[in-house]
Amino acid sequence: ASIVAVVGATGAVGEEMVQVLHDRKFPLSKLVLLASERSAGKKIQTAFGEMEVELFSVEAAQACDFVLMAVSGDFSKEFSPQIIANGKTVVIDNSSAFRYDEDIPLVVPEVNPAAMRGKLLIANPNCTTAIAAMALWPLHQKFTLRKVIMSTYQAASGAGAAGMIELEAGTRKGLNNEPVVNEVFAHPLPFNVIPHIDAFQSNGYTKEEMKVVWETQKIFGSKDIACSCTCVRIPTKRAHSEAITIETVEDITAEQAMEVLRNAPGVEVVDNPAEKLYPMPMTATRKYDVEVGRIRPSLVFQPKGLDLFVCGDQLLRGAALNAVLIAEAKLA
Ligand code: HSE
């Protein structure tokens, strides 16, 4: 059994990491919750009962076998390399600090587990990318993706606990005709959609959109997949949705795609339009599996393309579950 630390356990992702470790019965000899001065000393309710959050130090982290980082990129950038300098502690980082470093693996365990062999610092992907990868990887293996065109509908949880609180409080205010304050989001989110997540880049795309492009290519190990994305924040609480169009090298039918996806790990095909069954944040929330549906030949690319709709829990598959699965794969 292992000693595991969750750094940032009071945040939305950290909280889910603790929950997933509990629910999956991760072989723990000890669980430590670490945080910066702001949260150290707090007592929090967890699936393991009440626990005290301890002050983060490199030494405290180095006493662990696994460190799950659910903190800002700046914090991780400074401390993760110091932690792994002991040559034994495995750090799984949920920030974007190391995702694009050539020698740091970026891992979705169902897709590229071999990339983490012999590595102590492993990057967890952006939530949007991890969710899409679950549906796209099985299709890529069988039909080879040439193009991926994606539009997202991202929940407030992507901006952490503060985002969910801002949405809930703002919705109440909106209903009472009171002014809605926005600090987390670029504009008030209640009763709105915002086509702006993270900073705009010089090419007109946002960083969130470029993460999908860079990370899909890195995880799939292929720069040949042309990818573009429009990322939109919508007033749902958790679980991101994605409308995806693919062009494939091989011919593909909806039936073939469904067959492949039904047999893919971490995927639940939810696709029965006659019964009004398709993926939705409402049904994907708190599920480990990503829901995939609305699978149909693309009017533009058929017979070499499909349109599909994917929903996945941003805090689970998009973050906490993926990180714990990486730790489990390291143990295997
Ligand atoms: N950047 C994502 C979002 C969070 O804002 O929805 C997951 O990385």
**What tens digit of pLDDT does each residue of 168-217 get?**
999 999 999 999 999 999 999 999 999 999 999 999 999 999 999 999 99
Tokens 């891992």, residue located: 107
Q: How far is the CA of 324 from the centre of ligand 1 (A)?
A: 18
The mean per-residue pLDDT over the stretch 27-36 comes to 97
In sign, the C-alpha dihedral spanning 152, 155, 161, 167 is positive
Q: How far is Cα 121 from Cα 141, in angstroms, rounded to an integer?
A: 27
Residues with CB under 6 A from ligand 1: 126-127, 154, 158-159, 197, 208, 318
What pLDDT does 276 receive? 98
Reported as a single tens digit per residue, the pLDDT across 144-170 is 999 999 999 999 999 999 999 999 999
Q: How many CA atoms lie within 13 A of 264 on its CB side?
A: 27
Tokens of 279: 């993926």
pLDDT at 146: 98
101, 80 Cβ separation under 8 angstroms: no
Q: Which atom of ligand 1 is nearest to the CA of 163?
A: 5
Tell me how far apart the alpha carbons of residues 275 and 293 are, in angstroms, rounded to a whole number: 13
Q: Is the ipTM of this complex over 0.90?
A: yes
Name the band, by pLDDT with cuts 50, 70 and 90, for residue 140.
Answer: very high
Q: Which residue has the tokens 């689970």?
A: 316
Can you tell me whether residue 291 is helix, strand or coil? Answer: strand
- pLDDT tens track for 260-306: 999 999 999 999 999 999 999 999 999 999 999 999 999 999 999 99
CA angle (83, 88, 92) in 5-degree steps: 60
DSSP 29-70: EEEEEEE-TTTTT-EEEETTEEEEPEEP-HHHHHTSSEEEE-
**Shortest-distance Cα residue to atom 1 of ligand 1:** 158
- pLDDT single digits (tens) 78-136: 999 999 999 999 999 999 999 999 999 999 999 999 999 999 999 999 999 999 999 99
Q: Considering the chain, what is the average pLDDT of its residues?
A: 97
pTM value > 0.95: yes
C-alpha span between 287 and 108 (Å, rounded)? 17
pLDDT at 3: 98
Ligand 1 atom at shortest distance from the alpha carbon of 155: 6
Element (H, E) at 118: none
Distance of CA 159 from the midpoint of ligand 1 (Å): 6
> Of 74, 69, 116, which is closest to residue 94 (Cα–Cα)?
69
